[in-house]
Each structure stands twice: as C-alpha cells, then as structure tokens.
A and B are shown apart, each in its own frame.
Chain A
C-alpha cells in the first residue's frame, strides 16, 4: 500500500531513538497517541513527545503514535479495509487500550472523527462497546470540550504528565470489565478528567504540574527521517505566561508560570544534542525572552556551542524583552527567522488587548534585529479586535513602513512582512464575551491595509477570514456544534486546517441544517448572563476576574504582569497551591 501513496515516509516511523516495546499481557496499558494532522506537523509536537517517553519509561505502559493519514492513503486504507495503525510498529488501533488524541486546533476536529472511524470504532461515544479502545483527548481543545463531547469518552484537562499515568491505572484496574460504564465512572473521579457521559457535580479543575524540574522530558527525542515542520531539538524552558494578553487562551489556561531551572535546561540541551545529532536548538515557551535568567542562559549556551555549528532559536519573542544584546547572542550562533508580534497597530488598541508594547519598544527591537544582521523580519498582527477603528488598522501599515525605514539604515534590501490574522475570541479569556468581525469586514480592512502599505518592501500576508469563522464557531461552541462537525466530516471535510481542503460552504451548510447561525456563535457580543458552554471547566482564573478584565479592556486599562507587579488575584496561584516559579530568582526589569 505504501508504495502507492505520496510521501510514504510519513507512515514508517523509523525515527532514531524509537522505543518500540513488545506488546504484552494484561498488566501493560497500551496508548496509541494520536495527532489529528499530517505526520510532518504532528511529529515535532512537544506534548506528544513528553507523553511518549514518559509512558514508555514505565514497565506497565506502552505508547506508540499515529497521525492523520493523508487522503491518498485514506483511500487505500478504506478500499483495502486496513484500519488506522501506529507508525511505530504498524499495529492496528484495535490492539491498543486507549486512542489518546491531542487537540491542537479547532479546525482539526473533523480529522479526529475521521481517525476514530478509521480505527474501526463508532464515532459516537455512546455507540462504543467495552471491547473498543477508550477515546481520550487532551491539549488545548480540552479547555472547551463541548463541541467534541459526543465523540470523546474522556477529556484530560491541563498538564498531561501526571494524569496520563492515573488514567492508565484506572484502565488496568478495569481490565476484566465488560461494560464501559464502570470504567468511565472511575475515570470521571480522576482529578482533571471530564467524562461527558458522567457529568460532574462540580467543576472539573485543570491539572497543573507544580515543578517542571520533575519532568525533564523528552530526554531522548525522536529524530525524524523525513522532513517535518520543526526539525530540531526543542527544550521547554517554562510553562505558562503571566502577561495576560486578553485574547490569549494559551496564556490564561497554562498559568501560573513555572520555569525550568537553568542547569536542567543546559543538561537537556547537552543530552538532547548528543542523543539526536540535531544542529538546531529551540528554547520553547509561550514567551521565551521572559525567562528570568535568559541573558546568562543564552550567554552560556553561546559559549558552549559556538564552535559546534549549533544554532539557537527563541520562538515567541516578546518585543519588549528583545534587546540588542539578546539579538547579538542569538545571531552569534546562527541566524534564524525573526518574528515579533505587536498584535495591534496602535498603543491604544494594545492597551485594550493588554499587549503593553509601545511603538518605541517595537522600533528598538526592530533596530536591534536589523543592526545585528537580520534583513527580513516578520511582524504579526490581528485585525477585528474589540474596539478596533480604521485608524488602528491603517497604523499597522504605518508601523511596517517605519520598520522598513529603520532596516534601510543597515541594508538596502531590508524588508518587513506584515502577517495579519483575524481575531477569534477564545474560551477562558477576558475576550470570551467579545464579538468577532464578519469576513466581509475583515476583507474590507485588508483592502485598507493594502492601500496603506505603499512600499514594495512591506509585504502583506493574511489568512482566509472564513477559516477564522469556523475556528470561532468551534472555539466557543457548545454540544450542538458536535452535529455540525459530524456532518462536515460525513461530507468529506477533512484536513480543514489546509487551505487546499478547507471548504467554508460545508460548514455553513451544516450550520444551517442544524438550525444554527454563525451570528450567535461569532458575531454577537455575549452578555454576562449568557451561559458559557465551558463553565464546568475550571482553569483557575475566576470568571469574575475575567469579566472585570473585559471591562478594563473596554476602558483601555492595562493589567500588569503579576510576576513583577502586585498580584491582581486572578486566582490561579491560590487555587492550585503553586506559585510562579522563577528559575534564577532574579526578577526582570521591563524596558517598557
């Protein structure tokens, strides 16, 4: 079958450091970790890599991986009746106890259904029997589980390291059970696990790993033998973010910040490079320059690896934390692409979204980058933000032009790419009540931007705003959206994250068939009394606090970062008995 598909290397595993344990008897709980997108996207996923190693390290567990088969392979699988299989050993999904999805983005929902179906299981949870593998899901999508609640047996909310093992224990205890009910009931009693069939009496609280230092994973990352999106060593330097950008779900749901000790980071980089042969290291987090000891850490790494042709990258750089010194450090090892995300065109709007970066911050970061040898930089913005005016939009182009001007002082061919996406309100953020712009309005604003860019060195990139609408429907969707997802899947709508497969009409039709309207889900502001479909999922931030922050947003008032200003009592630290763990204990001073 593989010789007849494009890119067969997607399905062979074969990575260096593969674990491939033997499948054994009743004591061993077998996980098939599933990523609902193509191999080259999913393979580098850090969450999956952590669970893969952590579970395989235990004698009583086994983990293999599977990714969404590309439509050409799917066709072959369906015609030859070959079920979803693991890339590691090509075992069929039915040989596992758990099909464990990670849910990275809304648009991949239909792939989840497709994979459940390819695995040979009924897509609806209620139709599955005791003999079928359990279908579990975690990751970002689990913070609003309702749209998938008919299809997933249990959601694991929050950090997965501890709960994965607890889930395995429950499954082992229920080995002999015929019925699915008792195992689901037991799973529902595991903290952080939400079982739609056993609705909780109270809230489901997300899981939080108190110290990253206890989980130095992955230790021996898998090295792909074919091209993947991030082909490098990734080391997570901290989890969480306290910046409180009001649109940012990742920032809100992963609080509080927990830093990995610098010594452990260096050790993980050293060990990871030695076991993989990677030449690129990425220090991962939501806002890497915010690591409290970033300057000495980088200086040490530059010293240790500069002679070794190892390159270093810091994704998610905050503009206000990007100094010339930092630029010099990164560039000394090897130059990688640089993206800054000011998110909005004016200081006024940045206050509304609480991205407290001034124009001066941005210009000094841009200057730092160009002066240190970068020729091209990318600036990321959102349009359609609450309270946005045309002036805010046009200012994005002005910033782009000003950045190019700065660049020209250093290089004749300096260029700036403005990458523009439509704002989508997310659950558990202060903007969860906000309305988003209609696609027509987004298109109009894009035209406005095009007109204002006016310089060949300012490139404009934007996303199809119709994908944002679908994202918006699902991100704040309720259980009724499940029927829409199923209908789109049944009509062949898979790989909706990919522009060549995305089909807006399918979604709008399915919405209409269900008697639902995108107006209600996306384009109307919600009021304080509107029930939130994710209200039973507790991420540790009080709903009142979110509401007040939403009000502050409209009033253009900013919320400080609680690591170095006073705690504003969002609730997360107290609730989980963890505090912001700052590795080097040296608070940073912000330049803003």
Chain B
C-alpha cells in the first residue's frame, strides 16, 4: 500500500470558463482525470469516489491563476501534467505539481488570505479616467485609514452590519492594467481574509460606493492564496506548509 502518491496541483481558470461553478469545476476535473487515465485512488464503500480534494471555492465569474487541489494516486504518473492539460477544457491549465510526503491538512483550513486583481469601473460612467483613478486612490486610502468599515450583509434574509476592516490586509492601485486583459476598468490589488470567512472583493467595492465613489467590479482574478506560517505568508505549495502535515 506504500505506492500511494499524494499530489498538490496549482491550476488556473481563465477566460470564458470562469463562468462555471464549483460543482461543475469538480466534474470537469473528474472527467479529465478519467480521460487522461490518471491512476486515481478511490474511496472504499458502496459508491466509491475518486480521491480529489479541492481547496477554497472560486466564485462563478472569477478568474484565477492560483487554484489548488490535492489528488491521491495509486501509482506514479510522470506524464500527468501534459496528459491532464490535454484533457481539460480550454482555460483550465495546470501550473505546477508537487508531491506531498504525508497527508496534508485540508487546503481550505490552512489558507487564510487571498490576493486579487480587481478591475473596477465607475458605476455611472460620468468620471473621466484620470478623475476616477484619483478618486479610487483616495477611496482605497480612506478604507485603509479607517478604524472601522461597516457594510450591511444579508444572512438568511436578515440584514446586519459588519465591520470588514479586520478582513482587509492590503489595498492599492496596481501599477499597470495587465495589458493582456481586455477588461474595462482600473485594476487594483487586494489582499483579503479567507478566514474566518471569505471577504469578497465586491464587498470592498460596496464599501467604496458607501464612501461616496459609485463603482462596480467588472472582473476579479485570484492571483495567490496565502498560508500563515510563523507570522509569514507563503503559498500552499511551500515546504513549510507541507510541514504542517501530521494531524492526519
């Protein structure tokens, strides 16, 4: 039984395929794994399931260059990345694969922050580009400088107010607009909490609007996910994260 191989995969979800949901994404992976004849391990029991565990869900409509999943195989497969890339639909591509030595903690429990590129444009379209960029910069500054950033949320039909300031780590205008992208709007960078809950970039845009700058999000791209190890942030493939293994 020692032949089991545990892999962690980082992949991207770009272009039109960003509109599929988490369940669809899971099925797309299962099917690609099947088609590429990956020697995936199956759970025991009446209805065996392939051993795939996904990290944090990526919202419908978001792009990402930093999605993670773990696989368990029954034997090695050196050709796995190219074989899977052929079987996956356009827009989903494997970026990196590493082998894990022991059973890792689940991705969604260790990841505590995520970094995003967020394209934001003025809601009404009345502002010129320069004026909007200026106002955006000020808006972001004032959020960062605030002690509290209250927004109203809706949970099970009940409205309540929540301070999202503690969930915001970094905010700022990005230096350039990622020229490969045809998306409209000004790009900003955000690092936001995923624990105790995932703060969505759209909520920051809501806070900006409440602060007097009517704007909307035209695209979100997750750029990185972070794990906090001894006060340092590292990505989920970093050695020190894998060292977090143990509590199997």
Contacts and interface: CB of A to CB of B under 8 A. Distances in A.
B24 A226 contact: yes
Given A277-B32, A277-B34, A277-B35, A9 B20 contact: yes
B87 A277 contact: yes
B19 A9 contact: yes
Interface string A266-298: 000000001111110000000000000000000
A573 to B, nearest CB: 42
B31 A223 contact: yes
Interface of A: 2-3, 8-9, 11-16, 18, 223, 225-227, 231, 274-279, 309
B199 interface: no
B28 interface: yes
B24 A225 contact: yes
A279 B24 contact: no
21 contacts: A3-B61, A8-B19, A9-B19, A12-B16, A12-B17, A12-B20, A14-B16, A16-B87, A16-B89, A18-B90, A223-B31, A223-B89, A225-B17, A225-B24, A226-B21, A275-B35, A276-B31, A276-B35, A277-B31, A277-B33, A279-B34
What's the dominant secondary structure at chain A's contact region?
loop
Nearest to A8: B19
A225 B20 contact: yes
Given A14-B89, A15-B89, A225-B24, 6 more contacts: A3-B61, A8-B19, A9-B21, A225-B28, A279-B31, A279-B34
Contacts of A11: 19
Nearest to B50: A309
Contacts, number: 57
Nearest to A10: B19
B91 interface: yes
Q: Which of B17, B19, B24, B91 has the most CB of A within 10 A?
A: B19
B60 interface: yes
A333 to B, nearest CB: 14
Interface string B194-220: 000000000000000000000000000
B121 to A, nearest CB: 13
Interface centre among A11, A12, A223, A277 (most CB of B within 10 A): A277
B89 A227 contact: no
Interface string B5-43: 000000000001101110110011001111110000000
Contact of B35 (A3, A225, A274): A274
Contacts of A227: 23-24, 27
Nearest 6 interchain pairs by C-beta: A277-B35, A8-B19, A277-B31, A12-B16, A226-B24, A9-B20
Contacts of A274: 35
Contacts of B36: 277
Contact of B16 (A13, A275, A279): A13
A8 B31 contact: no
Interface of B: 16-17, 19-21, 23-24, 27-28, 31-36, 60-61, 87-91
A399 B16 CA distance: 51
B201 to A, nearest CB: 13
Contact of A2 (B21, B32, B61, B88): B61
B31 A278 contact: yes
Nearest to A2: B19
A14 B91 contact: yes
B64 to A, nearest CB: 15
B245 to A, nearest CB: 30
Nearest to A277: B35
Contacts of B89: 14-16, 223, 225
Nearest to B59: A3
Contacts of A13: 16
A34 B65 CA distance: 34
B27 to A, nearest CB: 8
A492 B194 CA distance: 44
A8 B61 contact: yes
Nearest to B218: A3
Contacts of B35: 274-277
Contacts of A277: 31-36, 87
A8 B60 contact: yes
A137 B28 CA distance: 33
Contacts of A226: 20-21, 24
Contacts of A275: 35
Nearest to A278: B31
Contacts of B17: 12, 14, 225
Contacts of B91: 14
Contacts of B60: 8-9
B88 to A, nearest CB: 8
Contacts of B88: 16
A12 B89 CA distance: 12
A227 B19 CA distance: 13
Nearest to B87: A277
B75 to A, nearest CB: 16
A226 B22 CA distance: 10
A44 to B, nearest CB: 15
B9 to A, nearest CB: 17
A255 B17 CA distance: 42
Nearest to A227: B24
Contacts of A15: 89
Contacts of B16: 12-14
Contacts of A14: 16-17, 20, 89-91
Most chain B CB within a 10 A radius of its CB, from A15, A18, A225, A279 = A225
Contacts of B27: 227, 231
Contacts of A276: 31, 35
Contacts of B87: 16, 277
A231 B31 CA distance: 11
A223 B35 CA distance: 11
A429 to B, nearest CB: 40
A366 B28 CA distance: 36
A152 to B, nearest CB: 31
Most buried by B among A14, A276, A278: A14
A306 to B, nearest CB: 14
Nearest to A20: B90
B237 to A, nearest CB: 26
Contacts of B20: 9, 12, 14, 225-226
A275 B89 CA distance: 12
A276 B34 CA distance: 9
A12 B19 contact: yes
A9 B34 contact: no
A13 B90 CA distance: 10
A2 to B, nearest CB: 6
Nearest to B35: A277
B215 to A, nearest CB: 15
Nearest to B33: A277
Nearest to A275: B35
Contacts of B23: 227
A16 B32 CA distance: 10
A275 to B, nearest CB: 8
Nearest to B62: A3
Nearest to B220: A3
Contacts of A278: 31
Nearest to B217: A3
Nearest to B32: A277
Most buried by A among B16, B32, B88: B16
Nearest to B42: A309
Contacts of B19: 2, 8-9, 11-12
B94 to A, nearest CB: 15
